Structure 1
Amino acid sequence: MSKIPVYLMPGLASSAAIFELIVLPEATFEIHLLEWEIPLDNESLTHYAQRITKKIKHKHPVLIGVSFGGILVQEMAKYVDARKVIIISSVRCNSEFPRRLKIAKTTKAYKLIPMSLFANIESLAKFSFGEKVNQRLKLYEKFLSVRDIRYLNWAVEQVILWDRTIVDENVIHIHGDADDVFPIKYIKDCIVVKGGTHIMILNKYKWLNENLPSIILGTEMK
């Protein structure tokens, strides 16, 4: 029996190293890591998703995305016949955004953020991972490798302006009840991970390793 291809997309500014603790049974699954690319001038999220989809070399892949990567894999699913789409620490539509992101969209306040701030790894860690990051900044420096200003400007704008209003009910959503970037009070119909923060891909990896196989295969408890 051929293995199930599982493609993993990291969160905003993160490298695929963020998945280094994710281990799936090798007899059943084959993991493939995706990375962010620098966007083209004035590139739409739709076009970007099409470009990244070209990196998928298998039929019927499982797409798993974290945070902004979760938004991206939902857009990629328009162009690939995915076996399953799973998002972690993300949202399924823009109504699940917290108020501050909705206000940023209305006021265009995000345009006033000088992305040069994020050359500071502590600022970038808090922006990408949430306020609850601890002081292990050398560790975060390893994971947050995409610091190109053009990418950061583009990525922040694509998140805030994401126009999906209708949830795709086929998308499986895994979310921590202590996520401070996308608070769970705004999230509907997800698999809840107790104590999971926005970086639970790092600190709840044991839960994910234990549960992802059954979630992918559709044998998890409802």
Structure 2
Amino acid sequence: MSKIPVYFMPGLAASPAIFERIKLDESIFETHLLEWEIPNPKESLEDYALRIAKKISHENPVLIGVSFGGILVQEISKHIKARKVIIISSVRSNVEFPRRMKIGKTTKAYKLIPMKLILNIENLAKYSFGEKVNKRIKLYEKFLAVRDLNYLQWAVESIILWNRDKIDENVVHIHGDQDDVFPIKYINKCIVVKGGTHIMILNKYKWLNENLPSIILEN
């Protein structure tokens, strides 16, 4: 029996190392890690998705994306036939964006985000307060792979301006009830992970390891 190819796409600017604790049975699944690439000037999200889709060498793969990676795998699935699309800590349409993101789109406030500050995590740590924030910053430092200004500006704009306004019911959505980036009150139907935050790929990996296989295999 041939193995089921599973491709993982990390969140915004993150390295595929965020999946290091996710272990699927190697006798059934064959896992592959996708990485962010620097976008071409003025590249649309659709064109970018087509470019990343060309890195997928198996037919009918399972696509799993976290956060912005969840948005991207939905776009990739327009270009290739996927056995299943699973998103974690993400959204299935722009209707599920929190109010601040919708306002950001209308006012173009996202253009004012100081990207250089985001890139310089060490500086961010100096200005952050409390152990919880510093812990999270240490995590980001470990898992932030893309420190490129053009990529960050492109990624933030691609998220805010994402034009999908209808949910694809075939996309499986796994979401934490403590997600502070995409609050669950805006999310339409999902598999809820109790106590799961936006970074639950890192700290709820036991739940994911127990449940992902059956989620992938169910028809």
TM class by smaller structure: over 0.9
Structure 2: how far apart are the matches of 1:124 and 1:208? 30
Residue 124 of structure 1 deviates from its aligned partner by 7.5
Q: Which residue of 1 aligns with 2:58?
A: 58
Quick one: distance in 2 between partners of 1:167 and 1:139?
A: 31
In the other structure, the counterpart of 2:142 is 142
SS in 2 for 1:41: coil
Matching residue of 1:192: 192
Query: 1:114 Cα shift?
Result: 2.2
Percent identity over paired residues: 77
Cα distance between partner residues in 2 of 1:186 and 1:168: 16
CA distance in 1, matches of 2:202, 2:97: 22
Q: Which residue of 1 aligns with 2:153?
A: 153
Distance 1:36 1:216, change over 3 A: same
TM-score (norm 2): 0.94
Amino acid at match of 2:53: T
1:18 and 2:4 aligned? no
CA distance in 2, matches of 1:204, 1:17: 15
RMSD after superposition: 1.5
State the shift of 1:147 in Å: 1.2
Instruction: Tell me by how many angstroms 1:115 deviates.
Output: 1.0
Q: Distance in 1 between matches of 2:122 and 2:156?
A: 17
- Judged with a 3 Å threshold, the aligned counterparts in structure 2 of structure 1 residues 122 and 44 are, in CA distance, closer, same or farther, namely same
Distance 1:213 1:150, change over 3 A: same
SS at match of 2:198: coil
The residue identity in structure 2 corresponding to 1:121 is I
User: Do structure 1's residue 115 and structure 2's residue 132 form an aligned pair?
Assistant: no
Please give the TM-score of this superposition, normalised by the length of structure 1.
Answer: 0.92
Q: Equivalents in 2 of 1:137, 1:67: separation in Å? A: 17
Residue in structure 2 matched with residue 104 of structure 1 by the alignment = 104
AA partner of residue 43 (structure 1): E
Q: Which runs of 5+ in 2 are unaligned?
A: 126-131
Q: Take 2:52 and 2:61, find their aligned partners in 1: how far apart are those partners? A: 14
**Structure 1 counterpart of 2:31:** 31
* Equivalent position SS for 1:86: strand
Shift of 1:84: 0.1
Q: Deviation of residue 122 (structure 1)?
A: 6.3
Paired position in structure 2 for 1:129: none
d(CA) in 2 for partners of 1:123, 1:188: 37
List per-residue Cα deviations over 1:4-38 (Å, max 9, x = no partner): 00000000010100000000000000000000000
Residue identity opposite 1:211 in structure 2: N
* Distance change in 2, residues 1:142/1:68 (3 Å): same
Give the distance between the partners of 1:119 and 1:95, measured in 2 at CA: 29
